[in-house]
Amino acid sequence: MTDWVADEKQYVFQNYGRQPIVLERGEGTRVWDSEGKEYLDFVGGLAVNVLGHASPVVADALAAQSRELIHTSNLFYTTPMIQLAKLLVENSCLDRVFFCNSGTEAIEACIKLARRWGFDTRDGAYEIIATENGFHGRTIGALAATGTARYREPFEPLPAGFHHVPWNSIDAIKAATNEKTVAVLIEPIQGEGGVNMPAPGYLQGIREWCDEKKLLLIFDEIQTGIGRTGTLWAYEQEGVEPDIMALAKGLAGGVPIGAMLAREEIAKHLVPGDHGTTFGANPLATATGFATLSHIIDTKLPAQAARASQRLVARLRSIEDRLPDVTEVRGRGLLLAVQFSRDCSVEVVAAARMRGLLVNNVRPNAVRMMPPLNVSDDEIDRASDILEDAIRSVLAPAK
């Protein structure tokens, strides 16, 4: 029998810390490994698998489109990308869509659009204010915006003009603003940074400051979008609308895709020759995205995710009540984190996995849960029981 783990260690770049299981098959919230062991998947492909594994909605769209047209290039019109763009515009506060293939690429597009707008209308302003612990991707431009020095430093020098300010401080944004500032780039809830919630009024305060200083407000909804927080977009619950928004992750139910949305007055500054990508807007990804997003909207999945969240949060809070070493449950919708009194998330993740639950150690002292939007009550209950058992085994081992 092939030793897949040994072969991975020999042939694949060792830039990921993988869990020691080989996943082969999935259905809904469940996955099976190469030894036939079943797991509840509360990693959800890092917020990508919004409809779960092997969803017929995703699989049927993918199969049907693959028999029609997979790729043409943007030298031609194709219908799926126009349908998906229309659906996104009709269901958001923004007017136009640019498609690409990943989150980091969506952020690169946002940075270029902001700079292009600054070049045309703000006397060449180009600086972008982002937040400490914010995550925007790994390509050089998106990395410059990412607020974790450890991710950036080995790759310096990075493009100039990015400032990182502490999360939840409007004063810090004001202090970092100068005549060269063109935009504020921020996640409505910090995802990779540890599921960090915005303080009440924080995003509204940023919106007001951006209006006052003629700055663009760019929301990175790559993780928070597509129903993840209980509404289609996280900004809806904050009473704040961005000028530009980046999407990716769940947009096509697992097929690689990214998108930038913007208001018309800004979008019009990107003209032929300014930006593009060969695979972007390809029929395969956009047809699957159209099927996925239509299904999410038609079946009111964001509201279902909000109800599932109430159940999951209640279960996690009861664990918090019983176990003093669980110090916080935070997040919104099905983007949740459980924090511990010490750095034990790696051990908790391993203990949960051995008991049949997959979660992610988003911080040394916190695990993150991002199940599909259609996770069932029974799966939530079972996952909570397993997590509690796993935490007990790590934090309060039986004598």
Ligand X SMILES: *Cc1c(COP(=O)(O)O)cnc(C)c1O
Q: How far is the CB of 248 from ligand X (least distance, A)?
A: 5
Compute the least distance from the CB of residue 87 to ligand X, in Å: 21
Active site residue 249: yes
Query: Which residues does 24 contact at the CB level (< 8 Å), separation at least 6?
Result: 32, 33, 34
| Nearest approach, Cβ of residue 106 and ligand X (Å) | 7
Which residue minimizes CB distance to ligand X? 103
Which of the following is catalytic: 42, 220, 243, 290? 220
CB nearer ligand X, residue 148 or residue 393: 148
Amino acid residing at 360: N
Residue 104 token pair: 């980091």
What is the C-alpha radius of gyration for the chain, rounded to an integer number of angstroms? 21
Choose the catalytic residue: 41, 162, 219, 249.
Answer: 249
Q: Which is nearer to ligand X, 270 or 335 (CB)?
A: 335
Give the residue with the Cβ less far from ligand X, 183 or 386. 183
Catalytic residue among 135, 162, 219, 290: 135
DSSP 3-state of 287: helix
The smaller minimum CB distance to ligand X, of residues 187 and 243, is found at: 187
**Sheet holding 127-131: strands in order across?**
96-100, 258-262, 244-247, 216-220, 181-186, 127-131, 162-165
Residue number with CB closer to ligand X (223 or 360) = 223
SS3 46: helix
The residues binding ligand X (CB under 6 A) are: 102-104, 107, 135-137, 187, 191-192, 220, 222-223, 248-249
Closest CA to 80 of 287, 363, 244, 323: 287
**CB-CB contact of 182 with 216 (8 Å):** yes
Q: In what order do the strands lie in the sheet with 360-363?
A: 326-332, 335-340, 366-369, 360-363
What does residue 237 show for φ and ψ, rounded to 5 degrees?
Answer: -85, -5
Evaluated on CA atoms 285, 286, 290, 293, the torsion sign reads positive
Q: Which residue, 192 or 243, is less far from ligand X as judged by CB?
A: 192
Smallest distance, ligand X to C-beta of residue 342, A: 26
Residue 147 corresponds to which tokens in the numbers above?
Answer: 């607020």
CB of 236 to ligand X, least distance (A): 17
In 3-126, at which residue ranges do the beta strands (DSSP E only) sit?
Answer: 23-27, 30-33, 38-41, 96-100
- Minimal distance, residue 252 CB to ligand X, in Å: 12
- Residues designated catalytic: 135, 220, 249
